[in-house]
């Protein structure tokens, strides 16, 4: 009887954790954004290694611009979906209020930077007063060169990149902490369903063993 009760409890927990997930569109937009951010960092690091004036460097620069604009579109779409349609699962009941506040602050900070970074990046390009490549188009010069204003956006873009790396590190570290230490299913809520199921089983098995 005890074993049956324990099995039933484990099944109930599995169902509740399975259902307590972000909606599919939110998950897709989350991982699309993550992929685009990774592509931006890899492209800019590759650009620095290849050199600004080389043909390979120019190709990396084109990729960086395209993924930056794509990130802006993805984040705007994500915020729109989040505001009007998304299902946002609540924090785990045992999660301290301070930890919830820090998680929200980190999330809002990421959104702000993910909007600001493409804008500052485009501004530093436009303020050069020269034509530039964007996706498959050649964009003509949109304004006269403004070196003083451009230098402000260059600095803002570089500071924003460092801040973004810090917040991403905190975000990823917190997700791993929930997965490996707390084992409360927070990470699984944003994973694709097949991965979430695969990662949920051992966690439940470990809880049952205790």
Write out the chain's pLDDT in tens, 210 residues: 444 444 434 333 343 445 588 999 999 999 999 999 999 999 999 999 999 889 999 999 999 999 999 999 999 999 999 999 999 998 888 888 998 999 999 999 999 999 999 999 999 999 999 988 899 889 999 999 999 999 999 999 999 999 999 999 999 999 998 888 988 888 888 888 766 666 555 444 444 444
C-alpha to C-alpha distance for 48 and 187, rounded to whole angstroms: 34
Q: How many CA atoms lie within 13 A of 5 on its CB side?
A: 2
Of 206, 200, 198, 201, give the one whose Cα is nearest residue 186. 200
- Kindly provide the b/e burial profile for residues 114-124, where b requires at least 16 CB atoms within 10 angstroms of the residue's own CB: bebbbebbbbb
C-alpha to C-alpha distance for 183 and 95, rounded to whole angstroms: 12
**Is 60 exposed, middle or buried (CB count within 10 Å of its CB: 0-12, 13-18, 19+)?**
buried
Residues near 109 by beta carbon (within 8 Å), at least 6 away in sequence:
163, 167
Whole-model pTM over 0.85: no
Contact 85, 49 (CB under 8 A): no
For helices 147-177 and 97-126, give the axis angle rounded to 10 degrees: 150
The class of domain 21-204 in CATH terms is mainly alpha
Q: What's the confidence (pLDDT) of residue 195?
A: 67
C-alpha to C-alpha distance for 119 and 123, rounded to whole angstroms: 6
């Amino acid at each position: 009887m005890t074993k049956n009760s324990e099995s039933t409890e484990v099944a109930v927990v599995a169902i509740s954790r399975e259902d307590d997930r972000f909606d599919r569109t939110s998950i897709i937009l989350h991982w699309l954004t993550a992929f685009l951010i990774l592509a931006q960092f890899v492209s800019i690091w590759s650009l620095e290694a290849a050199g600004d004036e080389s043909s390979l460097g120019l190709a990396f620069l084109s990729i960086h611009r395209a993924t930056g604009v794509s990130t802006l579109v993805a984040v705007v779409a994500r915020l729109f979906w989040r505001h009007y349609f998304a299902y946002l699962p609540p924090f785990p009941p045992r999660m301290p209020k301070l930890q919830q506040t820090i998680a929200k602050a980190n999330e809002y900070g990421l959104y702000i930077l993910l909007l600001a970074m493409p804008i500052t990046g485009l501004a530093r390009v436009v303020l050069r007063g020269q034509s530039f490549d964007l996706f498959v188009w050649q964009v003509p010069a949109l304004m006269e060169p403004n070196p003083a204003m451009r230098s402000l956006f260059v600095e803002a873009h570089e500071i924003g990149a460092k801040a973004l790396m810090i917040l991403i590190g905190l975000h990823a570290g917190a997700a791993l902490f929930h997965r490996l230490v707390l084992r409360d299913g927070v990470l699984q809520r944003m994973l694709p369903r097949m991965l979430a199921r695969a990662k949920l089983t051992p966690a439940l098995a470990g809880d049952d063993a205790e």
